[in-house]
Structure 1
Amino acid sequence: MKKYILISFFFCAGFALAQNEKANIENQINTAGKYFNKGQYEKALELSKSALVRSFKINDDYLIAHSYNAIGVIYDEFSQSKHAISFYKKALAYASKTENDSLNDWIYSNLGSVYYFSKIDVEKGIQFYKKSLKFATKINDSVQITYTKLNIASAYFSVNDFKNGINYVRQSQDYVKRKGTHEMQFTLASLLGIYHTHDNQPEMAMQYYNSAIAIADKYQFQSYLLNIYETLVTHYKYYRQPELAQEYQEKFNLLNKTLYSQDKKDLLKESAMQIELDEYRIQLERIELENEKQFQKLQESNRVTALFSVLLVVFLVLLLTLYRSNKFRKKINAELSQANTELQLAKEQAEEASKMKSQFVSTITHELRTPLYGVVGITDIITDEHKELANSPHLNSLKFSARYLLSLVNDILQLNKMDEKHIVLETAVFSMQEELDAIVNSVQYIADNNANELIVAIDPKIPTFLIGDRLRLSQILMNLTSNALKFTRNGKVKISMLHTGIQNDTHQIEFKVSDTGVGIAPADQQKIFEMFVQVGRTDEDYQGTGLGLSIVKKLIALFGSSIHLESELKKGTTFRFTIGFKAAQDVQNLTMATEKVLQTPSSLKVLVVEDNKINQLVTQKIMDKHQIKCDMVEDGFSALHLLETNQYDVILMDINMPIMNGFDTTRRIRNLGIQTPVIALTAFDKEEVKEQAMACGMNDIIIKPFEPEKLFEMIYQLVGESQ
């Protein structure tokens, strides 16, 4: 059964705003609504996105909610339910700040529509509609009351609850006939047609359907016309008239293809990411602007202090008597005290702004890593459970996109750490060959897409195992290699390592990443190492944020080295740098650890404390794949209850949980005398939570998303130590 929904695109036509910019934004969204009703969705989306950015700049909660709602309606129209719900909820968050009942009414109505129309949860959709109805009744908005009642009736019809549905139709009928808009008249006729179809009154049903078609044709309601075609297909199938059902099915297909082409859907997906990036950019700009203001205040205070110092010297020379000298001294002391107070306040405000920026970046990366753990994990699950999809381009694209987004999140966090000088190189034993294999596996998808040959050459003089920060080195090579592959088509990309000598027991290794791609113009060769700078976009649109090479340059500087560039347009590019590593003399433990991970006993019993349902599923599948017994609970109290009667070899503990977080749960476990190893399984950066984790009794930390092998290596090591 097709559903008929009246979506609140406009908040209030002709709403009087005092300021000119606000009025312009309001008019812009209203214009977007007109394009939406005509089926011109690209224009509607462009205007709505522009309105959102302008609303953020003037910091108007009402208009921000207004814009988010408009964008959500467009995504809802294309059945992009996840994005639509996200935008509606953002709209609701800003609407709550305005204490505007009308805003809450419209947004709850649209939330009801997306849950019901997309068949996510019809009952939940009805509950949202009823919340909307309460707000509409509270403000006595007859139009919105009627809209909402018709939506509730449509939802009840969709689950064959015609008894409740027809009651709402009858409550709305009188108002629609007297004052109803054309959309209301169309919806009422459609719903009465559906009701009479299922009441075995086909002639009466067709009268209402024909009335609905006439309204849609007259006022060019293309999406409504699509709905009535689909309903007529259902109607004729119900009365066993296949020829007529086929006729309207063909009309439906033709109109659906015109309104909802794949190009338009692709545009929406790209726009969703752009909207989120615009939001983050605006928030960061606000923080930077606040920092600049505080810095200016600090400079002004310094000038005031300098001026007072000069005046103090002048007055000391001029004052001849003790009385004037004492009076002058008191005055200067008071003024200096005030200046120092202002300086201290300015310093604290600047530090607070910097702290807010760090917290913002940390929160954003955590909130993105959590769903990415689910995306990456579920993608791996699909690959494992459906071997026939192993080579699916769509699944590979999903994997690549998830890992690309994860890389972007890590880049942002990395830059923030570098700016605050929080990065210290680690020292650990690693295999250069294994790191290169991992990099090649990660970028092979890009190489295949661009028909490139990826070549790796390692000087045999380089020791098998080295000591150094393998993570930072991998980041450098990964960024350079993925860049080379993206800017090369039908060519070659080569990663080479040359042993150039030994200095003070340190093996000097020259790294080169070269390609046969588009090359970089001489005028752009210094710019590319700056943040957010991208070149070479005139002919083709290469993906990227402009952060990669900036991070590479800073990471190489941490190793005490520098990067060199050689490039020629249309012939290719080579990046070169040298880093020294000490050779690992005793690699037996590393080799044994790797072998033991592969032999992890299935007799292990693990307790997972995780509140996110999707992350529970992913972690459960990882444990099942390795034949490890696993109990799953969603909060700290449940974990404590299980530990009273069960013993486990290891506990995987999420940190950010409701009721009782992972730190408090672990602290209570240790207070009970339970010494089972606890591993923090979190999306927070390790350095942010390390101190708290160790203080409460956790044994180690692993960051989501993670490689299962790293987790099992950690589990085996901790279990072995505890035994």
Structure 2
Amino acid sequence: MLHKRIYSILLVLFICCANSFAQTKSSIQHETAVNTQKATRLMRAGNYEKSLILCRKALDNAISLKDDNLIALAYNTIAANFDELAEYEKALFYYKKAIIYANKTNNNLLKNWINNNLGNIYCFDKKEYNKGIYHYKKSLKYSTIIADSSEIVFTKLNIVWAYFDINKFDLGLPYLNYINKYHKKHGTETTIVALNMLNGVYQSHLNNNKKAEFYFEKAIDLGKKGNEKSDLSHSHQEYAKFLFKTKQYKKAYENLTAYNEISDQLNDQEKLKKLNVAGINLEIDEYKREIDDIKTKYKTNHQILIEKQSKNKLISIVIISILLLVIIFSYFYYQNKQLKQNNKLKDFESKIQESIITASVNGQEMERKKIASFLHDNISALLSSAALHLTIFSSKNDNDSVEITKTKAILIQTHYKIRDLSHQLLPSLLARFGLFYALNDLCEMSSNSTIHFEYSSNVSSETRYNEDYEMKMYFIISELLNNITKHSKATNSILSLKEIDSQLHIIVKDNGVGFETKQYKTIEGFGLNQIKARINTMNGKFEIISKPKQGTTIKIIAPIEYKS
């Protein structure tokens, strides 16, 4: 029933297309439309040879016109011929070609029926139900767009049949309910047999035996009165299955016999059709060769077009890739430039900070020097002078009163304290004998019962450097030793000095608790970060090596500033 339905619909399609093409001024288009219309009639009459030859001419003209609608129509007619000849693989091939070109058009009627025919091939010949149902649903979409109610009913009937064939009754039921509701208004006599048969199948699935039997017998009765032998055959077959299920074996056998007889008749008709076709095999072979020539010619032109498109596509891809690369490189260049600027800014900020620290420490050292000099040269001298005058006054006047004696003692004590303070601000050993005497003395003075500072140097103790340089290095090392005493909990520390290639190499090492070098923070006052900043401003190097419970080693390399 489904295959037979194709031909009447195709005729309507071709007549509609022919009417629209008749309005055009192109004689080639008119000839193509006429040939397609004649080919449809010949196919309905069973003259497949002439139908295929006319289709070949129509396809040749359609390809030359580059008319997607005409190409789709020609391929569809060719496929329908092979479908009628039971050459289902060839029919499927040409239906696929037809749908490719139909999808490029707005001819929803044509797309509807090509998809329906593809559904028939997949479901009823190849038994690939998923593909078949997919095309049926595509057909339903287009029949809905063109608002053809009878086509909607017909397509939904096919969907129900396909779902029921694979026992997916729940999926097919909504479509069956729709057909039962609207078939009387929009259905046709050619679908009534199939509808009753499918209702019988569904009621059998529900085990509603009375309703199932009613629908099956109604389908068979209608089938005997009509011309749809295929649907009648299926009705007998499904009824026989139901009867076997309900253990009505005699009646089941009768329906199975009827099914076999009708199937044999249909097979005989199919064989007769193939025998009639056998006499024209040579013509069909020639037709096939001509079709292949057309396909080859079309493929060549199509291949050239594809190559051009590929070339243009490749050029576009290259241009887009270049633009993307330019954008990416520009982005990274900008980011790199920004990073460099940020690094420069950070370096600049770091240098400013180091300069501030150095200026601050230099200022402190200058103030130390001034205060020490002022205390030693002025205040201490004045106190000594005052004590001397009191001594002379007492000796001349023979006056050794308690007040004068106490005043002299206070002046002498103040003189010593000011001298000690002066030496703390600026050690006298540093000023008189130089850096190495002062550092050796510093190690001895800093050692006690808890910690011992060991001094080591390959430089002569008489070596003198620039006064400011010696002062800087003395206070840096003094601060390091002070930190060891306060924080390291060490029992032993070594100060080592070496002069190598006009650079002073200083190592201060202890066996204390150590710390994580990444986490050390600035200590209030003259801390490690400040020491590092000072060494950096002197173009030197500062390195800390330390781990928890493994002691600490600090290495300093500072260019020497010699005495001018």
Shared fold (TM-score greater than 0.5)? no
Whichever of the two has the greater Rg, that structure is 2
Higher helix share: 2
TM-score by length of 2: 0.44
